[in-house]
Amino acid sequence: MSFFSINPATGERIAEYPRWSEQTLSDALSQAAEAAKLWSATALEQRCTLMHKAADIIDQRQAELALVITQEMGKLRREALAEVAKCASVCRYYADNGPAFLADETIVSDAGKSFVAHEPLGTVLAVMPWNFPMWQVFRFAAPALVAGNTGLLKHASNVPGCAQAIEKIFVDAGFPAGVFISLMIPAAQVAGVIEDPRVHAVTLTGSEPAGRQVAACAGANLKKAVLELGGSDAFIVLDDADIDAAVQTGVSSRFLNTGQSCVAAKRFIVVDAIAEEFVAKFKTAVEALVPGDPSNADTSLAPMARQDLCEEIDQQVKTSISQGAVALTGCAPIEGPGAFYQASILDHVKPGILAYHDELFGPVAMIIRAKDENYAIRIANDSPFGLGGCVFSGDKARGEQVARQIYTGAVFVNGLVKSDPRLPFGGVKNSGYGRELGRHGMMEFVNAKTIWIA
């Protein structure tokens, strides 16, 4: 049995990677457990130095790493280059700020001395997705490893080349053997790894069903879990918004990575007063996107990561249209080789239509019209998801007030939702729990140990 890299732009097989045996997996878990003892005892300064070396290697290999991303999951080359650069930045962020985040925290109590020490949990399993195959991993690995944990990566089965490239970065940077290991195993073996006593915590970025399975397994084994799941982010356009800026940002937010992003704008909630103007300009901008070879600089719409994903979103679109949504543009696969789907807009989406309630993970935007600001807020919160969202308004104070009423893990005013190493990232409701990035992200996988001295 093997994992295969398949180019979604052409359907061609690139490479084959053998799956591990049960013995190989067990040996890797033992290696990580032994490494955890030595790594946690390694001076924090040395851990940070090695993370800086990893960042330097990422910079040196930016072009080749971006090529692996583009070939395995179809991302536009310029987007892949930006993703790789972001990986280097998160490594440097935690190498620079880790010592302050992990410093003992003195707390006044009835003791002669009392403080909180931040110690690693041990070995952390990361179950990661294909849509940002480098960034998703490094935003877990950088804080976890700097904190003194060892990391195990179970990557998505369609990006094994990315998984191997990431492990090689840490090896070449000088991290001790076993500190970071990519597990070449299928999803069916994840539960067994979580249950294993050599593993102490798990983090997953992925679908809601996968999150429920991992949460149930972690809970049954009393292990810490962080989940970053799906999202159906609202993109609210108020009547005083800069329409042109909202259109430009909306197209970027929805169609970046071919719409395959948890924090992409998916539900465009537009107040009636400016709806016609916004929709007309948005349609023109969407229709200007050019599908094609993701390595070509002129291409602005890449293929989807797999053919089955293309078929899935097409079925969601067809169902939504049959329920009353209006196909404003696109709304069909692109004929020919590769997993290409047209840049699409569904208009007049309302409750009871599939697109109103479900996450559409691809290049399809949906327009929901709202009577006024209050209705827009109500619609934004009328979702089982709560990852991110954004508000466009010419009045920043008004935008902030609306943002405070949106029940999500993040809201951006006059800008697209994005993850930033300096800011906590995560969701509420069916979008998961726990946080990545910022100081909050590092604290997820440390033991906040109270020490009290009489």
| Residue 322 to residue 343: CA distance in whole angstroms | 19
Mean pLDDT of the chain: 98
The string of pLDDT tens digits covering residues 188-204 is: 999 999 999 999 999 99
pLDDT higher than 90, residue 1: no
| Residue 116 to residue 392: CA distance in whole angstroms | 42
CATH superfamily of domain region 2-229+431-453: Aldehyde Dehydrogenase; Chain A, domain 1 (3.40.605.10)
| Residue 205 to residue 182: CA distance in whole angstroms | 16
Radius of gyration of the chain (CA): 23
Phi-psi region of 262 (alpha: psi -120 to 50; beta: other; left: phi over 0): alpha
Contact between 388 and 412 under an 8 Å Cβ cutoff? The reply is yes
Among 269, 365, 258, 330, which Cα is nearest to 301's? Answer: 258
CATH superfamily of domain region 233-420: Aldehyde Dehydrogenase; Chain A, domain 2 (3.40.309.10)
pLDDT higher than 90, residue 227: yes
The string of pLDDT tens digits covering residues 71-107 is: 999 999 999 999 999 999 999 999 999 999 999 999 9
| Three-state SS letters, the chain | CEEEEECCCCCCEEEEEECCCHHHHHHHHHHHHHHHHHHHHCCHHHHHHHHHHHHHHHHHCHHHHHHHHHHHHCCCHHHHHHHHHHHHHHHHHHHHHHHHHHCCEECCCCCCEEEEEEEECCEEEEECCCCCCCHHHHHHHHHHHHCCCEEEEECCCCCHHHHHHHHHHHHHHCCCCCCEEECCCCHHHHHHHHHCCCCCEEEEECCHHHHHHHHHHHHHCCCEEEEECCCCEEEEECCCCCHHHHHHHHHHHHHHHHHCCCCCEEEEEEEHHHHHHHHHHHHHHHHCCCECCCCCCCCCECCCCCHHHHHHHHHHHHHHHHCCCEEEECCCECCCCCCCECCEEEECCCCCCHHHHCCCCCCEEEEEEECCHHHHHHHHHCCCEECCEEEECCCHHHHHHHHHCCCCCCCEECCCCCCCCCCCECCEECCEECCECHHHHHHCCEEEEEEEEC
pLDDT higher than 90, residue 136: yes
Of the pLDDT bands very low, low, confident and very high (cuts 50, 70, 90), residue 237 is very high
| Residue 437 to residue 48: CA distance in whole angstroms | 16
| Residue 337 to residue 340: CA distance in whole angstroms | 8
Active site residue 228: yes
| Residue 152 to residue 170: CA distance in whole angstroms | 12
> Percentage of residues in the chain with pLDDT exceeding 90?
100
What pTM value is reported for the model? 0.97
Active site residue 162: no
The string of pLDDT tens digits covering residues 40-59 is: 999 999 999 999 999 999 99
Residue linked to tokens 């993703």: 83
Phi-psi region of 80 (alpha: psi -120 to 50; beta: other; left: phi over 0): alpha
The string of pLDDT tens digits covering residues 143-170 is: 999 999 999 999 999 999 999 999 999 9
Stretch 209-232: mean pLDDT = 98
pLDDT higher than 90, residue 378: yes
| Residue 270 to residue 314: CA distance in whole angstroms | 24
The string of pLDDT tens digits covering residues 262-321 is: 999 999 999 999 999 999 999 999 999 999 999 999 999 999 999 999 999 999 999 999
CATH 3.40.309.10 domain range(s) in the chain: 233-420
pLDDT higher than 90, residue 17: yes
The string of pLDDT tens digits covering residues 327-366 is: 999 999 999 999 999 999 999 999 999 999 999 999 999 9
95: its two tokens: 């190498």
Strands 13-18 and 2-6: antiparallel
Q: Dihedrals φ, ψ of 100, to 5°?
A: -70, -40
Among 241, 244, 211, which Cα is nearest to 226's? Answer: 211
**Looking at 262, 310, 331, 390, which residue is catalytic?**
262
CATH 3.40.605.10 domain range(s) in the chain: 2-229+431-453
| Residue 383 to residue 353: CA distance in whole angstroms | 13
The string of pLDDT tens digits covering residues 102-114 is: 999 999 999 999 9
**Looking at 72, 83, 167, 228, which residue is catalytic?**
228
